[in-house]
Amino acid sequence: MALPEWLALAPTIVLGAAAFALFAIDAADPRAENGALLAGTATLGALAALAFAGWALIAGTGTEEPITLFAGQLVVDGLSSFFTVIVASVAALVTVSSYDYLRGRGDQAEFYSLVMLATIGMSLMAAANSLVTVFLALELSSLPSYALVASLKRNRGSVEAGLKYFLIGALSSAILVYGISLVYGVAGGLRLDAVAEGVATTDLTGVLGVGVLMVLGGFAFKTASVPFHFWAPEAYEGAPAPISALLSSASKAAGFVVTFRVFTTAFGLDLAGVDWVLAFQILAVATMTLGNLAAATQETVKRMLAYSSVGQAGYVLIGLAALGGGQNAGVLGASMLHLLVYGFMNTGAFLFVALAEHWEVGRTFEDYNGLGTRAPVACVAMTVFMFSLAGIPLGGGFFSKLFLFAEAVGAGFWWLAAVGVLNSVISVYFYLRVVRAMWIEEPGENLGRIGEYPVGIYTAVIAAAVVTVALLPGMFLVDGVASDAAAHLF
């Protein structure tokens, strides 16, 4: 029995259905404070999307022969399913934990539906096969995110974060669309295969080079890489913590998948006029170094995590910076694996911060002193996240980083791997600072308020920790899936 082709988009469709169901619930009962129903609907949608995307990967939907839809505007292949799995998992963790975070607020339905809409945008980014759909999907994930970051309307930090995120986002989307217009002028088409055909024969290399660099700038915003990273610490610090988790994990992964697809299929490795691999090498080194050095100087945990997420983006950029060394599928696959593990460990870390905000223990490292004595289970989970982010073999982050550096060395870019290892050493300092505060320091006065244990945030944090640990042996299962998906790009 042959299923209709559009069913390949099932993950995106169920996310859309969840968003509309949330709108319907909100329309029926606008002042609804029934958090369980709303959070449940959103989580169910995200889990269904996760199940469909995971099934597509296991059943091989599009992994051998990509399924193109809507006259080639969208494509479903291993890469898109892989990244839909990441964004749907992060969305599920975020909606589960928001159940406690939003308790008592009157705008919960809007919050969850915006989360769902942003997630649709991210899953479409994974499937976008034309510069039009790339731009539209990117905006569909950005616009709800601006509103979500500023959703604590009476909190000055949240509004400031939303404003800065919006201003830089609007600027970089204008730069992206101008870059796309220049590429269109040179290539004469907007579908990625048409662009690839057009740029192969052109002699307008100057205009093309400017266009490609502007497109790169637009994507750097979405992935929070240097030089468009400076919104990230502000937005992640000011936003509600579950939204920081969504932005720093899912949105970043989605930004990387469009970067992978556009640069490998449309622009190609032998693009005349601009050496974009060199540009990514510079960006990777700058992003890693800046993110980790800045994270080491922070006093608040959330802001440290924000800068660490910039640094982690730098590691992922190695996947693009080490292309052309004969190991293309390997390095790109390792980047994808790192984004998969990162999706769980970083989301978990931000959700732990959400837990700390829920208990009002404070924001600095010192405020976390002795937390391990009062909430040992959550602190064990946080310890797993910190070790995994640092690359210590207690979570999947160890193998994904190892693969990434090993593939980079194999491709002949030993200096990229060396910079990565140096940065990892720096990062051990600030990740372990959290661990030390939780387990070794004496508890302070501020922990007296820890009375109740919010079930939603706990579930999400523990689920994220379990997956992070499970990915340590599981890495060898998903390794093949990732490198197969990456191999189809070349």
Residue number, 194 or 406, with CB nearest to another protein: 194
Element (H, E) at 479: helix 455-487
Under the binding rule (CB under 8 A), the answer on residue 164 touching another protein is yes
Residue number, 20 or 453, with CB nearest to another protein: 20
Among 59, 174, 278, 422, the residue binding another protein under the rule CB under 8 A is 174
Under the binding rule (CB under 8 A), the answer on residue 412 touching another protein is no
Residue number, 62 or 238, with CB nearest to another protein: 238
Q: Of the ranges 138-146, 257-265, 364-372, 427-435, which one interacts with another protein (CB under 8 A)?
A: 138-146
Q: Of the ranges 59-67, 179-187, 308-316, 480-488, which one interacts with another protein (CB under 8 A)?
A: 179-187
Among 134, 180, 381, 384, the residue binding another protein under the rule CB under 8 A is 180
* Beta bridge pairs of residue 67: 76
Contact 315, 285 (CB under 8 A): no
3-state helix, strand, coil in the chain (%, to 5): 80, 0, 20
Among 82, 101, 166, 403, the residue binding another protein under the rule CB under 8 A is 166
CA pair distance 439, 430, nearest whole angstrom: 15
Under the binding rule (CB under 8 A), the answer on residue 361 touching another protein is no
CA distances from 363 to 256, 292, 358, 429 (A): 30, 19, 11, 18
Residue number, 31 or 153, with CB nearest to another protein: 153
Omega into 227 within 30° of 0, i.e. cis? yes
Query: Which of the residues 267 through 306 are near another protein (CB under 8 A)?
Result: none
Residue 152 corresponds to which amino acid? L
Under the binding rule (CB under 8 A), the answer on residue 237 touching another protein is yes
Under the binding rule (CB under 8 A), the answer on residue 357 touching another protein is no
Q: Of the ranges 29-37, 184-192, 386-394, 439-447, which one interacts with another protein (CB under 8 A)?
A: 184-192
CA pair distance 67, 355, nearest whole angstrom: 42
* Beta bridge pairs of residue 364: 300
Residue number, 136 or 466, with CB nearest to another protein: 136
What are the helix (H) ranges across 223-327? Answer: 231-238, 241-245, 252-261, 276-296, 301-321
Under the binding rule (CB under 8 A), the answer on residue 196 touching another protein is no
Residue number, 171 or 432, with CB nearest to another protein: 171
- For 140, the token pair is 């569909």
CA atoms 263, 265, 269, 271: torsion sign: negative
Closest CB 211 distance from another protein, rounded Å: 10
* Beta bridge pairs of residue 76: 67
CA distances from 186 to 205, 207, 212, 343, 455 (A): 8, 7, 11, 37, 55
CA distances from 112 to 147, 311, 453 (A): 12, 29, 22
Region of 272 (left: φ > 0; alpha: ψ -120 to 50; beta: rest) is beta
Q: Of the ranges 33-41, 128-136, 314-322, 460-468, which one interacts with another protein (CB under 8 A)?
A: 128-136
Q: Of the ranges 177-185, 217-225, 356-364, 405-413, which one interacts with another protein (CB under 8 A)?
A: 177-185
Contact 57, 103 (CB under 8 A): no
Closest CB 339 distance from another protein, rounded Å: 26
Contact 161, 154 (CB under 8 A): no
Q: Of the ranges 83-91, 180-188, 280-288, 325-333, which one interacts with another protein (CB under 8 A)?
A: 180-188
Closest CB 354 distance from another protein, rounded Å: 18
- For 101, the token pair is 């975070």
Under the binding rule (CB under 8 A), the answer on residue 50 touching another protein is no
Under the binding rule (CB under 8 A), the answer on residue 200 touching another protein is no
Under the binding rule (CB under 8 A), the answer on residue 182 touching another protein is yes
What does the angle CA 470 – CA 474 – CA 478 come to, to the nearest 5 degrees? 135
Closest CB 472 distance from another protein, rounded Å: 36
For another protein, the binding residues (CB under 8 A) are: 131-132, 135-136, 139, 143, 146-147, 150, 153-154, 156-157, 159-164, 166-167, 170-171, 173-175, 177-178, 180-182, 184-185, 188-190, 207, 233-234, 237-238
